[in-house]
Structure 1
Amino acid sequence: RWQKIFSFNIWGKIATFWNKAFLTIIVLLIVLFLDAVREVRKYSSVTTVERSLPGRPGAHEHTQMKLFRSQRNLYISGFSLLFWLVLRRLVTLITQLAKELSNKGVLKTQAEDTNEAAKKFMKENEKLRQLLKGYNEEEEHLLQAQNEKLVEDQEKLKTELKKTSDALSKAQNDLMTVKIQSENLSKEYDRLLKEHSELQGRLGKGNKKGQ
């Protein structure tokens, strides 16, 4: 309830004009207090002089009455001056208290907003973690499937490479065999050609002798 009272805008308006009003009133009270002090000192000295002059009996009572009024004004102005100083301090404390309560309310609101934002952030973070976890699991399964497919393709490539290598080796062996056979046939052809030439030569010589 006090927080609501101190949160009124009237305290800000009072604080705006309070300093000027206080200074004006305090100067007036100081002037009245000094005037009362002067009057008390004046009539105190006059009373002392009149006591030494017994020829004027009514003047002493008149001076005592003025002295009483001066003392009364002194007490009133002094009390008023003290009251205004205390009131000044009280208003200052109330203003500071209102500011502190207002700042406390603002800080409390900010703390609540920060707490709500932190809770919201934590919830969103948890959602992101769950989503990332599910995505990681899905990605892990996908990567595992791709890895298995790559391993399978690698095995197929190894098999095809082995078949190709075996076929190439076989082809090289066949080529070497054909080459050797070709060389042997070439040598055999040369030998037969040589024998054929020799036989033709012998036949030619035989025909010449028969003639």
Structure 2
Amino acid sequence: MSLQWTAVAFFLYAEIVVNLILCIPFISAHRWRVVFRWRIWGWLSSYWNKAFFAMIIVLVVLFIDAVREVQKYSAPQSTQDATVNPNLYDNVHMKLFRAQRNLYISGFSLFLWLTMCRVATLLNQTAITLENSAELQAQVDAALKEAKQHQEKEQMFKKVISEGEKSMAATKEQLKLELEKLSSQLKAAEEDRRKSNAEVEAMKRQAKGLALEYDRLLREHHQLQNQRPEDKKDQ
């Protein structure tokens, strides 16, 4: 195996290990989020896109080269030449086997590279989503708590209003009773006033009658006094 394919094979093994680690179920996305926040990833983030596309280009070139080698050693002409010479036949099949091996190595390396990057991105997005959902849950809990407090205040206000209405109804009933009592007292006072007025009128008429009687008696008294001197003169 040449140096480049040895490097690709080790890269494939490393990808398998990393993908298996990323797929471990008991490591949560939140922990991967903490790992992705390390400073080294922040330092490598500026080179990440270039390295990602460069690795894709390298693996695609190697994959195309492996496909070309497989087609080269799978051609009918190579098979016909190999049947003539047995040593050449073994050499052609050995090169075909190596070309197919390189094809599988480069193909799986490219596939696992894309898969690994996608899994890492999904883990990061999942962690961000969980953090946002936790914040949203906290906001929802706070909103529910506030709504519950408003509901309790509303119930308290309703209770106060109900008690106020009951108190107003009781006060209104009491005022109505007092008004009826005052009305009855007013009627009684009006009746007493009429009686008093009637008594006053009667007393006025009586006083007027007494005054007339007094005037009459006074006139009679004057007449009697006037008659006495005349009687004395006659005697």
TM-score tier by shorter-chain length is 0.5 to 0.7
- Tell me which moved more, 130-139 or 109-118: 130-139
**Is 1:51 aligned with 2:77?**
no
Aligned to 1:86: 115
Conserved in 1, the CA contact under 8 Å of 2:63 and 2:106? yes
3-state SS of the aligned residue for 1:34?
helix
**Is 1:42 aligned with 2:68?**
no
Counting only pairs closer than 5 Å after superposition, residues 45-194 of structure 1 correspond to structure 2 as 45=75, 47-48=78-79, 50-51=81-82, 54=85, 66-164=95-193
User: C-alpha deviations, 1:69-114, integer Å up to 9, x for none?
Assistant: 4333212101112223433453354345334423432342233223
Conserved in 1, the CA contact under 8 Å of 2:81 and 2:88? yes
Conserved in 2, the CA contact under 8 Å of 1:30 and 1:81? yes
Aligned to 2:31: 5
- Candidates 33, 55, 68, aligned match of 1:25: 55
- State which structure, 1 or 2, has the greater radius of gyration over its C-alpha atoms: 1
Q: Distance in 2 between matches of 1:21 and 1:173?
A: 129
Shift of 1:65: 5.4
Shift of 1:118: 3.0
- Tell me which moved more, 106-115 or 64-73: 64-73
- Tell me which moved more, 140-149 or 44-53: 44-53
User: C-alpha deviations, 1:40-86, integer Å up to 9, x for none?
Assistant: 222344743643665xx876666555444433321210111222343
Change beyond 3 A, Cα 1:3–1:64: closer
Conserved in 2, the CA contact under 8 Å of 1:36 and 1:71? yes
Q: Give the AA of the match of 1:78.
A: G
TM-score (norm 2): 0.52
Which ranges in structure 1 are unaligned for 5 or more consecutive residues? 182-211
Q: Distance in 2 between matches of 1:47 and 1:74?
A: 19
Change beyond 3 A, Cα 1:80–1:94: same
- What is the aligned residue count? 174
Conserved in 1, the CA contact under 8 Å of 2:73 and 2:96? yes
TM-score (norm 1): 0.56
Shift of 1:174: 10
Q: Distance in 1 between matches of 2:169 and 2:126?
A: 62
Conserved in 2, the CA contact under 8 Å of 1:47 and 1:64? no
Shift of 1:39: 1.8
Q: Distance in 2 between matches of 1:100 and 1:82?
A: 26
Q: Distance in 2 between matches of 1:115 and 1:75?
A: 57
Q: Give the AA of the match of 1:4.
A: H
Which ranges in structure 2 are unaligned for 5 or more consecutive residues? 1-26, 210-235
User: C-alpha deviations, 1:153-209, integer Å up to 9, x for none?
Assistant: 22232233334556677899999x9xxx9xxxxxxxxxxxxxxxxxxxxxxxxxxxx
